[in-house]
Amino acid sequence: MAAGMDQKKLDMELPTGGPVQRVRVTLTSLEMKSVERVCGSLLKEASEKGVRVKGPVRMPVKRLRITTRKTPCGEGSKTWDRFQMRIYKRVVDIFATSELALQITKGAVVPGVQVEVTVA
């Protein structure tokens, strides 16, 4: 029964016209501050437009690790270097028409942040 109610909410129309769709915005970056900045600007734009938003959902951090020997020839003491790259990810669901979603996601451009928009 709850699934039917959610469908009714999605089928409603906004004053601008057109059906309401769920637009999923996925933000990915190597820097946490830039992801949070873009996420905050998305939420601010959505609240100004009066659109319902779900999120941000913080996904687990991916840590890509490489451990390697410091010495190239293998001589000397066995010392190791440990490198890691962290990937931060946030997911935001916006319930709006496609035109409103485009306006909201248009302003969120920061170098180093990948923005993926999926309409469901």
- For residue 38, the tally of other CB atoms under 10 A from its CB is 25
Residues of the chain with pLDDT > 90: what percent?
46
Write down the pLDDT at residue 119.
85
Cα–Cα distance measured from residue 46 to residue 14, given in angstroms and rounded to the nearest whole number: 14
Reported as a single tens digit per residue, the pLDDT across 26-61 is 999 999 999 999 999 999 988 888 889 998 999 999
At 89, the pLDDT band (50, 70, 90 cuts) reads very high
Question: Residue 105 corresponds to which tokens in the numbers above?
Answer: 């996601």
Residue among 44, 45, 30, 13 at smallest CA distance from 113: 30
